[in-house]
Amino acid sequence: MASRLQGAASFYEDMISVTDRLPVEDEFRRVTHLDLQRPTVSISDTDLARVFAASPHLEDVILSGTPAVTDRSVILLAENANNLQSINLSGCREVSDVAVLELASKSLPLQCIRLNGVVGLTDPSISAIAKSSPRLIELELSGLPLLSPLSVRDIWSYSRKLRTLRLAHCPLLSDKAFPSPIPASEEIVGEEKPLPPRPITWLTSLAPLILRHTAENLRILDLASCKITDEAVQGIVAHATRIQNLNLSGCSSLTDKSLESICALSHHLDVLLLAHVTNITDRGVVQLSRSCTNLRCVELAFCRNLTDMSVFELSGLQGLRRLSLVRVQKLTDIAVFSLAEHATALERLYVSYCDHFSLDAIHLLLKKLSRLQHLAATGVPSLKRKGVQRFSDEPPPDSDPDQRAAYRVFSGGNVDGLRKFLNKEEQRRREAEARNIPFRPRSDDKLDLY
């Protein structure tokens, strides 16, 4: 017995991980983790097939940096790696349903599957994954243009251990893909049920998805740019009551009613992304802030109806670390003052194209928020003042001259540099007032007036 345990220990000690290269021949039977996110040389499908055919102990395979991979290689992997637990095929556009169905048919102990951007996948392969992988914890299906509500309904029905589900940028998904908010006990039965309108498509004729279990393990849900309404959010929150990270950016049909539903997540909710959800108002954000008190990251970019009232409520969140208010153009200095006084834990702030912020307000923010590590304020007119631009990070290389002139993003030591520069300017201004002489702004760091 002791010799058997010793043999097992030596077996695992001999196993290796290989990153950004293919294993050599004498490593084939020893490699358990293969990570090809950024390979140093181009890797062909034939090279991968040769490795997978001779590597039976692979457990974790990342192929997102090898777009040449085809069904042949994935099928060989499924046939030989009997203990495969995680596979990442994101961006592998040559992979089709054939390979994914083979993965599903082998009863592998898969816990993590990432298929983002594998654009040829359709419902049968995704349904097969949901039905054949009872251990699945993480499933990523973003950017699949052919994915319909049919297979997503199977995910909700069969994948009951999921902690992460990503369905962003799947244009065919609608409310029909998600649990209905109507409890089973309230379903309308018998002759009293009204006649439904004539369905326009097969999709509209689908019955509501009524589930008799909850997704109590689900923590991360990404539905960015899906065509869902408030009813879908209500059903999701009723079914998955412990979501911590929720991305609804680009779901343009949502209103304050969705925020009211999200309030039920209470202290569980940690990250909420609502960029481009343009119909929400202060009323919904205020209610959200008072219910979900553990929010750490909030994104409200392009939510044009919001005013200082929303920021006033958000600034009271004790754990707020990251806040995005890009192009929320009704905001004024009052919002900045509120953040400066109350959001003491804030580390990253995005206020680009908020036209009404003064330099004095931003200076107060920098003085008060000692933990601030990143400030994005591109397009804020007051920051065009001379001397400020030299503390900004370099703009992206593809920026045009106008974009470069407006670019104001401060990170790391540059935040502290800007803070010190504005402190010195404030000191010079006070000295000028004390001596009753005109004050002229300068772009250097010297303290002497003239």
CATH number (domain holding residue 51): 3.80.10.10
Same domain, yes or no, for 426 and 311? yes
pLDDT, tens only, 118-141: 999 999 999 999 999 999 999 999
Cα 100 from chain centroid (whole Å): 25
pTM for the whole structure: 0.91
User: Could you tell me if residue 17 is inside a domain?
Assistant: yes
Query: Average pLDDT for residues 71-81, to the nearest whole number?
Result: 97
Listed range (46-55, 324-333, 440-449) with the worst mean pLDDT: 440-449
Please count the structural domains in the chain.
3
Same domain, yes or no, for 51 and 119? yes
Higher pLDDT, 206 or 36: 36
Same domain, yes or no, for 301 and 403? yes
Share above pLDDT 70 across residues of the chain, in percent, rounded to a whole number = 92
pLDDT at position 314: 98
User: Could you tell me if residue 321 is inside a domain?
Assistant: yes
pLDDT at position 446: 74
User: Could you tell me if residue 290 is inside a domain?
Assistant: no
Same domain, yes or no, for 154 and 265? no
- CATH number of the domain where residue 435 is located: 3.80.10
pLDDT at position 189: 44
pLDDT over threshold 90, residue 426: no
pLDDT bucket at 187, cuts 50 / 70 / 90 = very low
pLDDT bucket at 277, cuts 50 / 70 / 90 = very high
Domain boundaries, position 374: 296-450
Instruction: State which of 123, 146, 173 marks the end of a domain.
Output: 173
Query: Average pLDDT for residues 336-365, to the nearest whole number?
Result: 97
User: Could you tell me if residue 283 is inside a domain?
Assistant: no
pLDDT, tens only, 377-404: 999 999 998 889 999 999 999 999 999 9
- Mean predicted lDDT score pLDDT of the chain: 92
Same domain, yes or no, for 405 and 434? yes
pLDDT at position 186: 45
Same domain, yes or no, for 306 and 378? yes
Share above pLDDT 90 across residues of the chain, in percent, rounded to a whole number = 82
Instruction: State which of 245, 275, 305 marks the end of a domain.
Output: 275
Listed range (11-25, 66-80, 300-314) with the worst mean pLDDT: 11-25
Same domain, yes or no, for 441 and 319? yes
User: Could you tell me if residue 86 is inside a domain?
Assistant: yes
pLDDT at position 182: 66
pLDDT bucket at 5, cuts 50 / 70 / 90 = very low
User: Could you tell me if residue 263 is inside a domain?
Assistant: yes
Same domain, yes or no, for 341 and 300? yes
pLDDT over threshold 70, residue 198: no
pLDDT over threshold 90, residue 235: yes
Listed range (2-6, 92-96, 99-103, 290-294) with the worst mean pLDDT: 2-6
User: Could you tell me if residue 196 is inside a domain?
Assistant: no
pLDDT at position 84: 97
Same domain, yes or no, for 56 and 102? yes
Same domain, yes or no, for 221 and 168? no
User: Could you tell me if residue 186 is inside a domain?
Assistant: no
pLDDT bucket at 439, cuts 50 / 70 / 90 = confident
Same domain, yes or no, for 340 and 257? no
pLDDT at position 185: 44
Query: Average pLDDT for residues 181-201, to the nearest whole number?
Result: 55
Same domain, yes or no, for 216 and 315? no
Instruction: State which of 145, 173, 201 marks the end of a domain.
Output: 173
pLDDT bucket at 109, cuts 50 / 70 / 90 = very high
